[in-house]
Each structure stands twice: as C-alpha cells, then as structure tokens.
Amino acid sequence: MGILMRILASITTVYMILLFLRIMLTWFNSPFTLGRTTELLSSITDPYLNWFHRFPQLRTELMDFSPVAALAVLALVNNIFLTIAVYGRITLGIILSMLLSSVWSAIAFVLSFFIVILVIRFIAYTLGSNNVHPIWRAIDALSKPMLYRVNRLIFRDRLVTYKTGIFTTVVVLLALRILGAVIISLLSNLLIRLPF
C-alpha cells in the first residue's frame, strides 16, 4: 500500500509540474509556445484545466483563478497519497486538515500576488514612473477593486491619496497573509489530532 501511494504521489507531482509549465506558456507569447511538444503538453493538461475553467465563480473580467483551483485540488490529492504512504492510514481529521491547508494555499497565493503587484506599483508611483504606460494601467485596473474595498473598510468616507491607499492595502494584505498562516497552522494541527 505504501509503495503504491508513493507512486501515485509521484505521478501527481509530475502532473502538477506539467500543469505549471502549461500555465506559464499561456502567460507569454514566444516562439516556443508552438510545436509538437506544446501540443502534447496541451493534450495532457488542458482537459483537466478546462474542467475548472467552466466555473464562472473562478473567473473575473481581468483574472482567471481556475488554474489556481486546479493546482490546489491536485495538491490536496497529492497530500492524501503522501499521508497514506507515511502513516498507512487516513482519518477524517487529516483530510479536513489537508483540505483547509489547500484552500488557504489558494487564498495565500492571491494575497501574495496582490501584495507583490501593489509593492511594485507603490515603488513605481513613488519614483514618478509614467502612469499612462500600459503595464501600470493594467496593474491599476487589476488592483482597483482590492484597493477600493480595503480603503473603504479602513478610511470609510475619508479621502486619501493614491499612494496612501496603496500603502495601507499592502499593510492590510500582509497582516492577513501572516495572521492567516498562523491561524490555519493551529487549526490544521488540531484537526490532525482528531481520533477519527
């Protein structure tokens, strides 16, 4: 049983790597995105990715989070295989712990993504970069909903500068990222200890 679970865990790990490569290729228009290798990669990964893409809840006008969900589910399955391989059994507590960790991983990824792009935007804005450049307009459009929600929560109806809004949002998201990681870690450990 242990050997079989390790083999299945290895297969899912390799498939996760292939999924990541496929996702990366969709981000860049390069001469290497065409050809037999890419077609083979697409035929292996696209059916799985497309299954998640059909859920409108995972997509917005500017972002498609379905690949994140696809990777999170596969990571959960991979963790189940590894747990059975190590402990020889699986309990409801362990499954709930891994499910919680997988959901948090997806949320943490989104938080980290917004933190990174907002830090980059803050630096560029501070240095007086060209605000009409397409890349900054894209980042502004992407981050605007997050900035609006955080600033409305913190400042209510008070008017603040764009720079202050970005800085505040980064601090809030960073605090959520750190605090969330601590809470999820504690909850996961409690779930693992459940006797059933």
- pTM, full prediction: 0.65
- Separation CA 151–CA 172 (nearest Å): 10
pLDDT of residue 27: 63
Q: What percentage of the chain has pLDDT greater than the value 90?
A: 15
Q: Residues, the chain, total?
A: 196
- Report the distance separating Cα 42 and Cα 19, nearest Å: 9
Q: What is the pLDDT of residue 35?
A: 66
**DSSP H helix total and E strand total for the chain:** 6, 0
Condensed to tens digits (0 to 9), the pLDDT of residues 48-67 reads 999 988 888 777 766 677 88
Listed as ranges, residues in the chain with pLDDT below 50 are 30-32
Q: Which sequence spans correspond to the domains of the chain?
A: 1-90, 91-196
Is 101 in contact with 75 (CB distance < 8 Å)? no
Closest CA to 125 of 113, 111, 112, 143: 143
